[in-house]
Amino acid sequence: MEILRHQHEAKSVHRDTNLENKSQIIKEKIVAEDITLTAAQLIVQCLENEGVEYIFGLPGEENIRLIDAMKDSTIRFIVVRHEQGASFMADIYGRVTGKAGVCISTLGPGAINLLLGTADAFTDSTPLVAISAQVGLNRIHKETHQVIDLLNMFKPVTKWAGMIVSSAAIPEMVREAFEKAKTERPGAVYLCVPEDVEAISGLTGLRPLSQSYEADSMPGSSQIAHAAHVLQAATKPIILAGHGAVRDHAGDALVRFSERLRIPVATTFMGKGIFPDDHPNSLGTMGFMKHDYVNFGFDEADVIVCVGYDLQEFDPVRMNPNADKKILHLHRYPAEIDTHYPVTVSVEGNISAALDELAAIVTPKEGLDAADRKIRNLLKEELEYGAHTDAYPVKPQRLVSDIRAVMGESDIALVDTGSLKMWMARLYPTNQPNTCVISNGLSTMAFAVPGAIGAKLAYPDRKVLAVTGDGSFLMNSQELETAIREHIPFVVLIWVDGAYGLIKWKMDLELGHHSFVDFGNPDFVNYAESFGARGYFIEAAADLLPTLKKALSEDVVSVVVCPVDYSENIKLTNKLGQLMQPI
Beta strand pairing call for 76-79 and 558-563:
unpaired
Quick check: helix, strand or coil at residue 32? helix
Contact (CB, 8 A) for 300 and 582: yes
Contact (CB, 8 A) for 174 and 46: yes
d(CA 194, CA 164): 7
d(CA 286, CA 267): 6
Quick check: helix, strand or coil at residue 361? helix
DSSP per position, 379-401: HHHHHHHHHH---SSBPHHHHHH
Give the up-direction half-sphere exposure of residue 367: CA atoms within 13 A in the CB hemisphere: 5
Contact (CB, 8 A) for 26 and 48: yes
d(CA 174, CA 514): 49
More confident residue, 207 or 371: 207
- Where b means 16+ CB within 10 Å and e means fewer, 559-574 reads bbbbbbbbebbeebbe
pLDDT per position as a tens digit, 269-317: 999 999 999 999 999 999 887 888 888 889 989 999 999 999 999 899 9
Nearest to 442 by CA among 188, 130, 169: 188
> Could you count the other beta carbons within 10 Å of the beta carbon of residue 290?
15
> How large is the angle between the packed helices 351-361 and 221-233, nearest 10 degrees?
50
Range of lowest pLDDT (26-35, 177-186, 280-289): 26-35
CATH architecture of 24-198: 3-Layer(aba) Sandwich (3.40)
pLDDT per position as a tens digit, 52-105: 999 999 999 999 999 999 999 999 999 999 999 999 999 999 999 999 999 999
Confidence of residue 367 (pLDDT cuts 50, 70, 90): confident
Nearest to 223 by CA among 215, 231, 211, 214: 231
Q: Examine the pLDDT at 18 and tell me if it is beyond 80.
A: no
Beta bridge partners of 105: 132
Confidence of residue 160 (pLDDT cuts 50, 70, 90): very high
The chain-wide mean pLDDT, for the chain, equals 91
The rounded radius of gyration (Å) of the Cα atoms in the chain is 24
| Per-residue pLDDT, 288 | 87
Contact (CB, 8 A) for 181 and 50: no
Contact (CB, 8 A) for 125 and 152: no
Q: Examine the pLDDT at 28 and tell me if it is beyond 80.
A: no
d(CA 541, CA 544): 6
Domains 24-198 and 374-577 share a fold: yes
Confidence of residue 30 (pLDDT cuts 50, 70, 90): very low
d(CA 418, CA 496): 11
d(CA 94, CA 92): 5
Indicate the domain borders of the chain. Answer: 24-198, 221-368, 374-577
Q: What percent of the chain has pLDDT over 70?
A: 93
Q: Examine the pLDDT at 582 and tell me if it is beyond 60.
A: no
251 alpha-carbon distance from chain centroid: 17
Quick check: helix, strand or coil at residue 450? helix
Nearest to 188 by CA among 234, 124, 239: 124
Confidence of residue 32 (pLDDT cuts 50, 70, 90): very low
| Per-residue pLDDT, 374 | 86
Q: In 459-520, which ranges are continuous DSSP H helix?
A: 470-476, 479-485, 501-510
d(CA 542, CA 386): 12
Confidence of residue 24 (pLDDT cuts 50, 70, 90): low
Q: Which CATH number fits domain 221-368: 2.60.120.330, 3.40.50.300, 3.30.930.10, 3.40.50.1220?
A: 3.40.50.1220
pLDDT per position as a tens digit, 495-546: 999 999 999 999 998 999 999 999 999 999 999 999 999 999 999 999 999 9
Fold type of domain 374-577: Rossmann fold (3.40.50)
* Mean pLDDT of the region 203-224: 85
d(CA 555, CA 534): 11
pLDDT per position as a tens digit, 445-501: 999 999 999 999 999 999 999 999 999 999 999 999 999 999 999 999 999 999 999
More confident residue, 6 or 156: 156
d(CA 414, CA 411): 10
Nearest to 306 by CA among 252, 276, 366, 348: 348
Q: Examine the pLDDT at 580 and tell me if it is beyond 80.
A: no
